[in-house]
Amino acid sequence: MQKRGIYVSIGGVSLVVISFAVAMSLVSSTGFPDSEFALSDMMEGMFDDVSDRVQIEPGETGIFSFDASSGVDSVFWGIQIMDFQAGDSVSISISNIYGDDIGTFESDQPALFETMKIEQADIYSFHVKNTGARPINTMMMFTKNPETSEKFSDPNSPLVKTLVPLAVSGILMMVGIIAIIIGVIIIIIDYRKKSSRFT
């Protein structure tokens, strides 16, 4: 019996195990609790401003502010639902001090990140509405001028040290799962070929 399918499957399992081990080692090294860990802690030093954790009831709105009144051409902003569960969702609407609508974003994921061009110096308000069915704890993060910030280009930055390895780990896991599936398919094909020889 040909063993190529078994070898492919074993290789896939190995990739999954390696990727899982890398992800767990990165997360455990941050010292996070099992739940409600903050991305701002994982990427310590990446953000110029991190809000307090704010609990928002269903249908209610929490307001976060960012001061772009001086020397800010763009802002990299993000929101995290700290205690995310399936079904949680938020709607984020941005306005300036005059109440002008700058943009609206919807998210049903644990975190959302966007970059916003600052057209004029101002203080911007981020209105976060809880569109889910239960109370959520939220936090917002802001970085000024991400295009020129060393925080995004420094090879020793938390972004490179943490997020990039996690992304690579995720890719390895997907490749491993695909390899396992391909290996199983090859095993089935080889088994059927072998069985057909004896019929």
CB 136 within 8 A of CB 88: yes
Cα separation of 165 and 119, whole Å? 35
**152-183, pLDDT tens digit by residue?**
656 566 555 666 666 777 788 888 889 889 98
Count of other CB atoms within 10 angstroms of residue 47 = 20
Residue 33 pLDDT level (bands cut at 50, 70, 90): very low
> Which residues fall within 8 angstroms of residue 174, CB to CB, at 6 or more apart?
none
**68-97, pLDDT tens digit by residue?**
988 889 999 999 998 888 899 999 999 988
CB 142 within 8 A of CB 64: no
Q: How far is CA 198 from CA 53, 191, 193, 194, 195, in A?
A: 68, 11, 9, 7, 6
Q: Give the pTM.
A: 0.63
